[in-house]
Chains A and B, each alone.
Chain A
Amino acid sequence: MKHCQRDILMKVTRRFLWAVGVLLLLTACVKEDYYDNSRQGNYEALWKIMNEHYCFFSYKQQELGVDWDEVHARYASQINERMTNAQLFEVLCNMLAELEDGHVNLSAPFDFGRNWSFYEDYPEHYNDSIAKLYLGHNYSIASGLKYVILDDNIGYVRCESFENSIGDGNVSMMLQSLASCNGLIIDVRGNGGGQLTAAQTLASHFTNEKILVGYVSHKTGKGRNDFSSPRKLYLEPASGGVRWQKPVVVLTNRAVYSAANDFVKCMMYCPNVTIMGDRTGGGSGMPFNSELPNGWQVRYSAVVYYDRDMQHTEFGIAPDISLVMSGADIAQKKDTFIEKAREYLSTSQ
């Protein structure tokens, strides 16, 4: 009887150990290709991260003729293990600059790699000291939005950034204060973006209806053309508070980028809104972050936002009315853009 029990015990033990062994064998490790922290390793890692995650390769090839494989071959020849960190950084930044994307950056402890040609290559069309004259000293601030009523009863809102959250309450209180104005100027010149939700919250106070403002698509795999089906993006009217019903002018320049570019895209579909100024800078990809083996941080566009005609706004949005900052106006300490907007709003009464 004891022998019988021992046999059964041994049998069960063997089966148990077999099961555990088989499980260990079946559980293959999930790991990612690893590049070493050499000059070549960092170069290859950066190229691969971009190759598998960047979302505008097709568009950049079409617009700029960028062939990412050719880029790899061209810059690989510049990499050697004797180069300094600064030299490596320069080569990597030059490679990324081929994409002409302000959302593509390389960040090292000693420098921030960027291609800001989207606004650096163009006139600024904005003079901060002159614009401040319009605001004066008695302007109000609602969550970063500076606003004042100008002499001709036009409301002027200076929106420098969307870095701070903007709530419906902030916008409603501001619009309530400007309710007596005949028109409104929203000056987003130099606004480099920030939170998409802040931009959309502000825009939602300028429509009474839900409007289609674009499409969004993300990558679904490592292939350069692996994308999800574009999904519709709507701008919902602000559910509570004040919605503006009078004419609006949005002032733009080349430094309007990212979330600010998205704000302009939303506003151009709103009723009573006119976009005036220079073309925006663009930046329609939502950026993601990653890193290199040496710890340098890389940022890249990962999610594509289109306008409602399924067109890219990566290289900006053209204004309804183009403006140029006049030298004569600057000499008289006048902002041509603001003056033209005031004229436009006065005549559109």
Chain B
Amino acid sequence: MKRFNSIISKGLAVAATLLLSLCAYGQDVQPEAQQTEIAPSFSPSRLNKEVLHSSMVGIGSSNVLDTYLSPYNYTGTDYRIQRETQRMTNLWKGRVSNQSFIDLNVAINENRPKTLDEYAGGLRYTQGWFYNFMGGNIVNPVERSSSRWNFAAGLAVSAYLGAVYIDRSGNNPAQAKADIMIDASGMVTYDMPIKRHHYLWRYQVSVPVMGIAFSPNYGQSYFEAFSLGHYDHNVLFAYPGNMPSMRHRLTLDIPIRRHVLRVGYVAQFNQSVFNHLKYHNYSHNFMIGFTKYLYRR
């Protein structure tokens, strides 16, 4: 277990190094014109050309409960990779931004007596549209907004596919996780100038509002569902009453010469109660990566 954690940690370190190199490489090959090309004038017709790319890796804590597998929490280390792209669109006179988000995580946990290992992970893909209030620009507020504070709120469609596996034999060692949700999401940015540099804080909260999710029934075996085709309330309507979840993300963009270093904190509280089966997956991650602000010609 410790050895595996060590391997994962080293892997993340290598991934972070590669990521930094790639970002630096990207910055090197991109002509400075990309920075200077940004028109100083505030024009909706040009706003939709703003693009933000961000890649981050992170490590943190994990706490998983899945009563289909065990009545107890498993805790351990969570490893996370996030990739985000934001761009302004032409919608609503250029006030709507689009965010596509990939969030991949793997948690390696143990039960309290440390007799069993658990592996939990999944991939969430989100595509969201945000209305930028007060003529702001959430994608590149430093360059494009007259206010230090910028707000945006909107809706996103997110799809998740994951699994929780406990390293033991039997007919219920694993649990599949899947959902397609509409999330309500809000973003706020704060531009914090110190001397000649602009440090940009970003906070985003997302809450699943409604959608569909998969769950086996209380004592249903996967053999029944998938080998025999005996489905029983396996696709359920999900809403905050049975899936009270939220995801928070706080980041700080730090300009370093021509690059922008991003550090952040991600807290996710994914929960559900389907067919009397309780599930939660809490994680807190410290993230690091790079952000690139581009301008599409």
Chain A interface (Cβ < 8 Å from any Cβ of B): 5, 8-9, 12-13, 16, 19-20, 23-24, 26-34, 37, 45, 49, 53, 55, 196-197, 216, 218-222, 226, 228, 231, 233, 286-291, 293-295, 297, 299, 302-303
Given contacts A19-B186, A32-B65, A287-B170, contact A218 B269 (CB under 8 A): no
Q: Decide yes or no whether B86 CB sits under 8 A from chain A.
A: no
Q: Decide yes or no whether B70 CB sits under 8 A from chain A.
A: yes
Give the residues in chain A near B269, CB-CB below 8 Å.
27
- Pair B172/A289 contact, Cβ less than 8 Å: yes
30 inter-chain pairs at a CB distance below 8 angstroms, sorted by A residue, are: A9-B134, A12-B133, A13-B151, A20-B205, A27-B207, A27-B240, A28-B244, A29-B280, A30-B65, A31-B73, A31-B278, A32-B67, A32-B72, A53-B219, A55-B219, A216-B224, A216-B230, A218-B219, A218-B220, A218-B224, A219-B218, A220-B232, A222-B276, A228-B232, A231-B228, A231-B230, A286-B221, A288-B170, A291-B111, A302-B171
CA distance A29 to B273 in the complex (A): 11
Given contacts A222-B276, A295-B111, contact A27 B245 (CB under 8 A): yes
Give the residues in chain B near A302, CB-CB below 8 Å.
171-172, 219, 221
Give the residues in chain B near A231, CB-CB below 8 Å.
224, 228, 230
- Pair B207/A23 contact, Cβ less than 8 Å: yes
Give the residues in chain A near B72, CB-CB below 8 Å.
32, 34, 291, 293
Q: Decide yes or no whether B91 CB sits under 8 A from chain A.
A: no
Q: Decide yes or no whether B71 CB sits under 8 A from chain A.
A: yes
Give the residues in chain A near B114, CB-CB below 8 Å.
295
- Pair A287/B171 contact, Cβ less than 8 Å: yes
Give the distance to chain A from B227, nearest Cβ to Cβ, in Å.
7
Give the residues in chain A near B220, CB-CB below 8 Å.
218, 228, 303
Give the distance to chain B from A66, nearest Cβ to Cβ, in Å.
19
Give the distance to chain A from B254, nearest Cβ to Cβ, in Å.
23
Give the residues in chain B near A37, CB-CB below 8 Å.
112-113
Give B240's nearest chain A residue, CB to CB.
A26
- Pair B116/A12 contact, Cβ less than 8 Å: no
Number of B residues contacting the other chain (C-beta, 8 Å)?
A: 51
Give the residues in chain A near B113, CB-CB below 8 Å.
37, 293-295
Residue among B112, B133, B173, B207 making CB contact with A293, cutoff 8 Å:
B112
Give the residues in chain A near B93, CB-CB below 8 Å.
none
Give the residues in chain B near A233, CB-CB below 8 Å.
228
Give the distance to chain B from A18, nearest Cβ to Cβ, in Å.
11
Q: Decide yes or no whether B188 CB sits under 8 A from chain A.
A: yes
Residues in B251-289 with C-beta less than 8 Å from chain A = 269, 271-273, 275-276, 278-280
Q: Decide yes or no whether B51 CB sits under 8 A from chain A.
A: no
- Pair A220/B227 contact, Cβ less than 8 Å: no
- Pair B149/A9 contact, Cβ less than 8 Å: yes
CA distance A220 to B168 in the complex (A): 24
- Pair B149/A13 contact, Cβ less than 8 Å: yes
- Pair B168/A289 contact, Cβ less than 8 Å: yes
Q: Which of B111, B224, B272 has the most CB of A within 10 A?
A: B224
Q: Decide yes or no whether B217 CB sits under 8 A from chain A.
A: yes
Residues in B172-224 with C-beta less than 8 Å from chain A = 172-173, 186, 188, 205, 207, 217-221, 223-224
Give the residues in chain B near A33, CB-CB below 8 Å.
71
Give the residues in chain B near A45, CB-CB below 8 Å.
71
CA distance A52 to B207 in the complex (A): 32
Closest 3 CB pairs of A and B: A219-B219, A295-B113, A295-B115
Give the residues in chain A near B272, CB-CB below 8 Å.
30
- Pair A12/B280 contact, Cβ less than 8 Å: no
Q: Which of B115, B116, B134, B207 has the most CB of A within 10 A?
A: B115
CA distance A112 to B246 in the complex (A): 42
- Pair A30/B280 contact, Cβ less than 8 Å: yes
CA distance A20 to B248 in the complex (A): 10
CA distance A100 to B246 in the complex (A): 46
Give the residues in chain A near B34, CB-CB below 8 Å.
none
CA distance A46 to B272 in the complex (A): 24
Q: Decide yes or no whether B147 CB sits under 8 A from chain A.
A: yes
Give the distance to chain A from B283, nearest Cβ to Cβ, in Å.
14
Residue among B71, B147, B224 making CB contact with A290, cutoff 8 Å:
B71
Given contacts A220-B218, A231-B230, contact A286 B271 (CB under 8 A): no
Give the residues in chain A near B224, CB-CB below 8 Å.
216, 218, 231, 303
